[in-house]
Copies of this chain bind each other. A is one copy, B any other.
Amino acid sequence: MEKLQRIDAYWRAANYLSVGQIYLLDNPLLTDPLAPEHIKPRLLGHWGTTPGLNFCFAHLNRVITERDQEMIYIAGPGHGGPAAVAHAWLEGSYTEKYPDITQDADGMRKLFRQFSFPGGVPSHVAPETPGSIHEGGELGYALAHAYGAAFDNPGLAVACIIGDGEAETGPLAASWHSNKFLDPYHDGVVLPILHLNGYKIANPTVLARIPEDELVKLMEGYGYRPHIVAGDDPATMHELMARTLDVVFDQIAEFKNGQAEHLPMIILRTPKGWTGPREVDGKPVEGTWRSHQVPMGDVRGNDDYRRLLEQWMRSYRPEELFDTDGRPVPEILQTVPEGPRRMSASPHANGGEILRPLALPDFRDYAVEVKAPATQHSEPTRVLGAFLRDTITANPHNFRLMGPDETASNRLSAVFETTGRAWNAETLPTDEDLAPGGRVMEVLSEHLCQGWLEGYLLTGRHGLFNCYEAFIHIVDAMFNQHAKWLDACHDIPWRRPVPSLNYLLSSHVWRQDHNGFSHQDPGFLDVVVNKKAKVVRVYLPPDANTLLSVGDHCLRSRDYVNVIVAGKQPVLDLFSMDEAIAHCTRGLGIIEWASNDADTDPDVVLACAGDVPTLETLAAASLLRRYLPDLKVRVINVVDLMRLQPDTEHPHGLSDAHFDALFTPDKPVIFDFHGYPWLIHRLTYRRRGHHNIHVRGYKEEGTTTTPFDMAMLNDIDRFHLVMDVIDRVPGLSTSAAHLRQQMSDARLRARAYTREHGEDLPEIRDWTWTH
């Protein structure tokens, strides 16, 4: 009972500190009557969800202390910042991270002032907030992050507060099923707390307004044991919550030791803006959507509102909670855990602190032997698969491979020689490669793959997400948020570097001829390069050995988003392992054996990025060598797309001198690109020779057809490249007019064959370089 009083005091302190952050510039302890100048001019904060967040945090602390339970806290509700900041300050970790914000009246004043204030901290549980791996800005990902954090952390419990607004989103609705992928023995647990405060911004929420028996069935249907904690009387609620948490953590123990099949979860039903003003201007506020943000605005100008605010803040009895210097009194801190057991100081929520680097096998050992370049084929992702297999073997608890059921389809199947697909539901004799705790996580939800991986990375582990290129757009928004998180972390000294988020986009636009138009979209790259140069990297390795080199590089890197586009279909082997390493280290370079401009200036540069454009470019170079042997052609392949930017724009950027030396300042450059052509213009528009760069790429032409027909539909094919050269190199349009016609005829012939036979001409399918 006494313990509950202490929890209540702690809760009141957190609520007091939350209201203070939203409203006050000064006078933090209310030592003076509230005056206009104590109030922020713009009131930017969200009270509605805060008391519930504080309530959970306060009670979970008791569990941590009593059971010595390692725990982190994920605040799903948007704008839950005031709560998380309040706890970090009460637990002392805020001051440890930001020594300027002391644990006294002056620190409290600064804490209040900085919240949602220019030069201060955001209203979300942002990277700046100690103890957070989850922002709650864009809603939907709390539960997926929670599970990602729990995987391979057997001692950890992840408490995940899910707002009833967020619960309406698709990603969250799917995330409940993450329990089918959790291994009770080798993973930690997630405790979902569905916080029903009834309203989102201006509307009731679905889950708060369905009959309770339906809600219970829904949670049972999702595979949880629901417990309801509902009410608005604080004393009753403290008792109920404490009792429920004791049951819940006993059930978690049963789950962990195999006595129970299902994890518990809590349905917490409290008024929105609980303990806030009941009414403002005669309208109900507590328990309604009106307390979503600030229960009353213009507190500066309106004396009544200001009195109401003071009343409200004093209702928490600050004089019992803080001493005259503004320090939290010892009584309220008795339930606060110590050191790294504090949720605001857990090393799991600053994953770089506990990161163990991957033990990587030597990628050179997986090299394809290349006797003569461009004369034999390999499937790059299949080659990478063997490297990933041994990476998994060497890192059994530290690395996961995510994908929406496409690991085998993307030809990474070698991984199944050492591990299975994580699966904790029913299995049948016809199943293959399922295993609790398997390193491969396959669920037909790109949102879950991304969310799990983000949670896993931010808690200091490593991974790779393999996905069809077109459907990675499903997580555009999640990528944006993660890139912004990493960007912000760069400026926060105490945030330690975490492993990069690695995408492998296989089954890409040029090899989705069989799946049709809906599967053809290379635009994720455009989304990616909108984010800060310090965060994003894009690689287009054209063959197996360059993919190995790039893959190794990305798995070693920190704090980036690395996008690798590499095909699963057989492509020509272009580089020996040593050449591949050199080429990837440079990021781009001349393919000497395909060029004939040695010791002189080229007449034309054929540049390419991506496996299929590289193939077509080489074939075009070969045609030119045959039909126009005097034309000096330079072939350049680009692996690291960021090299095209000026060095002033991106750390990987080439200097202008270097760029000009390669691409020339004045010769036509025919650039065959994997994605939408504008991206190359965007990256190169500041280059001297930009007006000479003619880019071919995907121009949104597609259907169900053959690979070469896809190339022709978008004019990235070998014949069209030769036509482009003839059109662009001065003099050729007359002297090579016949060749141009020949190329045009070749296209017609290729298409006619395709329409007739349903496959590409054998000489195109099987083309290799003749040395």
Return the CB mask of A414-455 against B: 1 if under 8 Å, else 0: 000000010101111011101000000011110110000000
User: How far apart are the CA atoms of A523 and B514 in the complex, in Å?
Assistant: 30
A359 is an interface residue with CB less than 8 A from chain B: no
Evaluate contact between A169 and B477: CB separation under 8 angstroms: no
Provide the residues of chain B in CB contact with A206, threshold 8 Å: 177, 180, 425, 443
Q: Report the nearest B residue to A144, measured CB to CB.
A: B170
Distance of A222 Cα from B206 Cα, bound (Å): 10
A-B contact pairs, 17 of them (CB 8 A): A117-B758, A118-B705, A122-B516, A137-B517, A138-B519, A173-B173, A173-B177, A204-B434, A217-B220, A221-B222, A470-B480, A473-B476, A480-B521, A484-B517, A488-B517, A523-B530, A530-B700
Interface residues of A in 474-515 (CB under 8 A from B): 474, 476-477, 480-481, 484, 487-488, 514-515
Docked complex: A172-200 residues within 8 A CB-CB of B: 172-177, 180, 198, 200
Whether the Cβ atoms of A408 and B515 lie closer than 8 Å is no
Q: Complex: how many Å from CA A177 to CA B204?
A: 14
Residue A165 at the chain B interface, CB threshold 8 Å: yes
Instruction: For A40, give its contact among B120, B519, B758 (CB under 8 Å).
Output: B758
A523–B447 Cα distance when bound, in Å, is 19
Q: Answer yes or no: A331 CB below 8 A from chain B CBs.
A: no
The residue that A118 contacts in the complex, of B40, B217, B681, B758, with Cβ under 8 A, is B758
Total A residues in contact with B, Cβ cutoff 8 Å: 123
| Chain B residue nearest in CB terms to A262 | B214
Cross-chain contact A119 with B170 (CB below 8 angstroms)? no
What residue in chain B is nearest A407 (Cβ atoms)? B202
A427 surroundings in chain B (CB, below 8 A): 204, 209
The listed residue (B124, B203, B217, B751) touching A218 by CB distance below 8 A is B217
Whether A119 lies near B518 (C-beta < 8 A) is no
Cross-chain contact A409 with B201 (CB below 8 angstroms): yes
B223 lies within 8 A of A168 (CB) = no
Chain B residues within an 8 Å CB radius of A681: 681-682, 685
Contacts of A284 in B (CB 8 A): 430
For residue A656, CB closer than 8 A to chain B, the reply is no
A443 and B122 contact, CB distance less than 8 A: no
Interface flags, A452-478, vs B, CB<8A=1, else 0: 000000000000000000110110110
**A755 in contact (CB, < 8 A):** yes
Q: Which residue of chain B has the shortest Cβ distance to A447 in the bound complex?
A: B170
Mask, A116-129, CB within 8 Å of B = 1, is 11111111101000
Q: Which residues of B contact A203 (CB under 8 A)?
A: 405, 421, 434, 442
**Closest chain B residue to A205 by CB distance?**
B444
The listed residue with most B CB atoms (<10 A of its CB), out of A42, A221, A754, is A221
Q: Is A44's CB under 8 angstroms from B704's CB?
A: yes
| Interface: A51 (CB within 8 A) | no
A481 to B202 Cα, complex, angstroms: 31
Confirm or deny: A746 has a beta carbon within 8 angstroms of a beta carbon on chain B: no
Contacts of A41 in B (CB 8 A): 757-759
Report how far A474 CA is from B474 CA in the complex, Å. Answer: 7
- The answer to whether B704 touches A120 (Cβ under 8 A) is yes
- 0/1 per residue, A72-112, Cβ < 8 Å to B? 00000001000000000000000000000000000000000
Is the CB–CB distance between B165 and A405 below 8 Å? yes
Contact of A210 among B42, B180, B448, B519 (CB under 8 A): B180
Q: Cβ of A169 and Cβ of B444 under 8 Å apart?
A: yes
Q: Quick one: closest B residue to A135, CB to CB?
A: B518
Q: Which residues of B contact A126 (CB under 8 A)?
A: 516-518
SS of A interface (majority): loop
A733, CB-defined interface residue at 8 Å: no
Q: Name which residue of chain B comes closest to A198, CB basis.
A: B428
A221 cross-chain contacts in B, Cβ below 8 A: 214-222
Partner of A487, one of B175, B423, B445, B700: B700
| Residues of chain A in range 735-771 having any CB-CB distance to chain B below 8 Å | 751, 754-755, 757-759
Whose C-beta in chain B lies nearest to the C-beta of A202? B408
* Chain B CB within 8 A of A727 CB: no
Q: Assuming A209-B426, A523-B527, A758-B41, is B517 touching A122 (CB within 8 A)?
A: yes
Tell me if A287 counts as interface (CB < 8 A to partner B): yes
Q: Which 5 A-B pairs rank lowest in CB-CB distance, beginning with the nearest?
A: A218-B221, A137-B518, A170-B170, A173-B173, A122-B516
The reply to whether the CB of A147 lies closer than 8 angstroms to some CB of chain B is no
A25 within 8 A of B: yes
B678 touches A759 (CB 8 A): no
B514 touches A42 (CB 8 A): yes
For the complex, is A406 an interface residue (Cβ under 8 Å from B)? Answer: yes
Q: Are B204 and A704 in contact (CB under 8 A)?
A: no
A139 in the interface (beta carbon within 8 A): yes
Residue of B nearest to A534 (CB): B700
Judged by a CB distance under 8 angstroms, whether A630 is at the interface is no
A171 within 8 A of B: yes
Could you mark each residue 682-696 of chain A with 1 if its beta carbon is under 8 Å from any beta carbon of chain B, else 0?
Answer: 100100001100000
Chain B residues, CB < 8 A from A135 = 518
- Does B201 lie within 8 Å of A406, measured CB to CB? yes
| Besides A180-B206, A218-B220, 7 new A-B residue pairs in contact (Cβ under 8 A), listed by A number | A41-B757, A116-B514, A118-B706, A119-B754, A119-B755, A173-B177, A476-B476
Residue of B nearest to A126 (CB): B516
Given contacts A218-B221, A284-B430, are A170 and B168 in contact (CB under 8 A)? no
Q: A676 within 8 Å of B by Cβ?
A: yes
Residues on B with beta carbons closer than 8 Å to the beta carbon of A691: 691
Q: Judging by beta carbons under 8 Å apart, are A200 and B477 in contact? A: no
Residue A15 lies at the interface, judged by CB distance under 8 Å to chain B: no
Contact with B along A708-740 (1 / 0, CB 8 A): 010000000000000000000000000000000
Q: Contact: B204 with A223, CB < 8 Å?
A: no
Residue in chain B with minimal CB distance to A114: B704
Question: Which residues in B have their C-beta under 8 angstroms from that of A448?
Answer: 168, 170
Does A116 contact B443, Cβ atoms closer than 8 Å? no
Minimum CB–CB distance for A705 against chain B, Å = 4
Is residue A531 within 8 Å, beta carbon to beta carbon, of the partner chain? yes
Docked complex: A150-170 residues within 8 A CB-CB of B: 165-166, 168-170
- Please, how many angstroms separate the alpha-carbon atoms of A79 and B516 in the complex? 10
Assembly CA distance A426 to B288 (angstroms): 15
Most buried by B among A174, A219, A408, A676: A174
* List of B residues within 8 angstroms of A474 by Cβ: 138, 140, 476-477
Residue A317 at the chain B interface, CB threshold 8 Å: no
